Structures are given as structure tokens and as C-alpha cells.
């Protein structure tokens, strides 16, 4: 999970070079790949760690929260870009750093093999 978060964070940092179409596209591809990889792992952990009684509920709540947060983040991104175009990528990279920190501090990164 740390590797995936690092990939996403590096993608955002590459996208800071907004003058280069190639670098922004490459950074976006890294972020997209990392996001899909992360989501697959996230749902694997949810399915493995949640009791059968609550699996559907937890998965649907997680999916709903993800879909609700998307438009809110898009709105915030619009304001950030208006203020300064680089700020959106800086904020995204900082959020990924804190996500990695939370993963390490909570021990989530030490999950063993899932059955």
C-alpha cells in the first residue's frame, strides 16, 4: 500500500510541471494506475477483514463515500486552480503523504497475507 501511495504521490509531483503536456499526461497516467491498483487492494482488504454479515453493507458504504467525495474534491480543486495552478498538485501530494503516514502509524501497512 505504501508503494501504491508513493506511485500516486510521485505522479502528482510530476504533474507540477504544468508547462509540459507529456509530463502532465505521464503523471496523470501514474496517478490513474495507482488509483485503480489501490482501489482493488482496498476492496480486497475490506472483503477479507469484514465478517460475512456486514460485507455488502461495508462495501456499499465505502463505494458511496468514494463517489460522494469525488464531486466535493472537484469543487475544491476548482478553487485551488483559480488561486494557483500548482496548488492542486501540491495539496494532492501532501494528502498522499499523510495517507502514507496514517498507514504506517496505524499498522495498516503490516497486514499479513489475506486468506
Q: What is the pLDDT of residue 65?
A: 82
74 burial (CB, 10 Å; 0-12 / 13-18 / 19+) is exposed
Confidence of residue 110 (pLDDT cuts 50, 70, 90): low
In the chain, % of residues over pLDDT 90: 20
Q: How many helices (H) and strands (E) does the chain have?
A: 4, 0
pLDDT in tens, 61-93: 878 887 888 788 888 888 887 888 888 888 889
Question: Is the pLDDT score of 40 beyond 70?
Answer: yes
**Gap between the Cα atoms of 34 and 28, Å rounded:** 10
- The whole model's pTM is what? 0.72
3-class DSSP state of 1:
coil
Give the DSSP H/E element, type plus range, for residue 26.
helix 21-49
Contacts of 33 (CB under 8 A, 6+ apart): 7
Question: Is the pLDDT score of 10 beyond 90?
Answer: yes
Contacts of 38 (CB under 8 A, 6+ apart): 1, 4, 5, 8
Amino acid at each position: 500500500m505504501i508503494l501504491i501511495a508513493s506511485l500516486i504521490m510521485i505522479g502528482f509531483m510530476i504533474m507540477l510541471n504544468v508547462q509540459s503536456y507529456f509530463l502532465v499526461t505521464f503523471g496523470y497516467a501514474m496517478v490513474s494506475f495507482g488509483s485503480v491498483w489501490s482501489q482493488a487492494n482496498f476492496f480486497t482488504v475490506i472483503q477479507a477483514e469484514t465478517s460475512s454479515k456486514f460485507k455488502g453493507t461495508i462495501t456499499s458504504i465505502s463505494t458511496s463515500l468514494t463517489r460522494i467525495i469525488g464531486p466535493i474534491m472537484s469543487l475544491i480543486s476548482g478553487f485551488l486552480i483559480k488561486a494557483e495552478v500548482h496548488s492542486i498538485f501540491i495539496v494532492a501530494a501532501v494528502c498522499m503523504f499523510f495517507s502514507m503516514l496514517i498507514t504506517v502509524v496505524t499498522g495498516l501497512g503490516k497486514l499479513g497475507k489475506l486468506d
